[in-house]
Amino acid sequence: MVAVTPQSSARAVAVGGSGWGRRAVLVVAAAYFLVPLVIAISFTVYNEVQGFSLGAYGRIVTSPGFATSFLTSLALAAVTIVLVLVLLLPAMIAVRLGAPGLRPVLETITTLPLIVPPITYVVGISSALREGADALAATPFWATIIAIQDDRFPVVLVLAYVILALPFAYRSLDAGLRAIDVVTLVEAARNLGASWPHLLLRVIMPNLRSALAGAAFLTLALVLGEYTIAALLGYQTFPVWIVTISGNDGQLSVALSILSLVLIWLLLITLSRASGRKKP
């Protein structure tokens, strides 16, 4: 027979109360996010004149520039993710292994994009491209300046997005590196004869699967949602296309926002499944 003390009763009440409290918070949070979404969806599929209709979504798919702008943003996101990981991960591992004292310096450098206003960032990029083209007009590098501004795949946007994504990717990778013993893994792999590329690809990265996925998630969301830089530089990315095509049609504008949200969710779920899939 188990004796019930006042302390155990109070503890049980506290646990039960905290459980109900968590449920209440989840219900309120779900209502906060889902109710506006449901209202927005109903606005796009129903009106008093036509009743239920998916015409707003049909107009999106048939609108000129939809596929081109979305594929362009998707390609920009993929290249940006690769460049961010290639730049950050080796640098962070090198700092942890050879120069731990430089970790605050690296953290400060990757945080700097957060304190630069986007409009200032765009003005700086525009000035650099304009003055660079004038200064390099008589050199072979002039063609490079022109090539990175190609409308079909604007490399200049990739470079800008890499800088913007550094603070978010750094935090995700730093949390992953803190959770593993990098020094022990490296020493063990090197003692077994592993090369540095093999060490990075087959030893470090599998242990950072969640951190790499988090960095990729944040970078993907940033690129597919960034409007200011692309619009001011004159490129037709997916967010810019959404603003351009919506015009004065309120139903179409809301449908575009919902479609954009759904597409980003699907991409994030796909990326999550791919990063979590284990090799047989």
Residues 11 and 90 in one domain: no
Residue 1 counted as domain residue: no
Residues 78-113 as b/e (b if ≥16 CB within 10 A, e otherwise) read ebbbebbbeebbebbbebbeeeeeeeeebeeebeeb
Based on the fold, state whether residues 165 and 44 are members of the same structural domain: no
What band does 1 get if pLDDT is binned at 50, 70 and 90?
A: very low
The predicted-structure confidence for 135-187, as pLDDT tens digits, reads as follows 777 777 778 888 888 888 899 999 999 999 999 999 989 988 888 888 888 88
Q: 49 with 76, same domain?
A: no
pTM exceeding 0.75: yes
- Taking alpha carbons only, the member of 261, 264, 173 closest to residue 214 is 173
pLDDT tens-digit series, residues 33-59: 888 888 888 877 877 667 777 777 777
247 conformational bin, left if phi > 0, alpha if psi -120 to 50, beta if neither: left
Higher pLDDT among residues 87 and 193, named by residue: 87
Task: List, in sequence order, every residue forming a beta bridge with 47; answer none if it has no partner.
Answer: 51
Q: pLDDT by residue (tens digit) across 215-273?
A: 888 898 889 888 889 988 889 898 888 888 776 666 777 888 788 788 777 877 776 77
Residue 82 has pLDDT above 90, yes or no: yes
Q: How many domains does the chain have?
A: 2
Q: Are residues 41 and 154 in the same domain?
A: no
pLDDT at residue 279, as a whole number? 46
Whether 242 and 133 map to the same domain: the answer is yes
Statement to judge: residues 21 and 115 lie in one domain = no
Q: Residue 221: inside a domain, yes or no? A: yes
Task: Tell whether 271 is covered by a domain.
Answer: yes
Amino acid at 153: F
Q: Are residues 94 and 40 in the same domain?
A: no
The residue range of the domain holding 76 is: 64-276
Q: Is residue 165 located within the same domain as residue 117?
A: yes
Mean pLDDT of the chain: 81
Q: Phi/psi at 207 (nearest 5 deg)? A: -80, -10
**Where is pLDDT greater, at 132 or 111?**
111
Tell me, yes or no, whether 202 lies in a domain.
Answer: yes
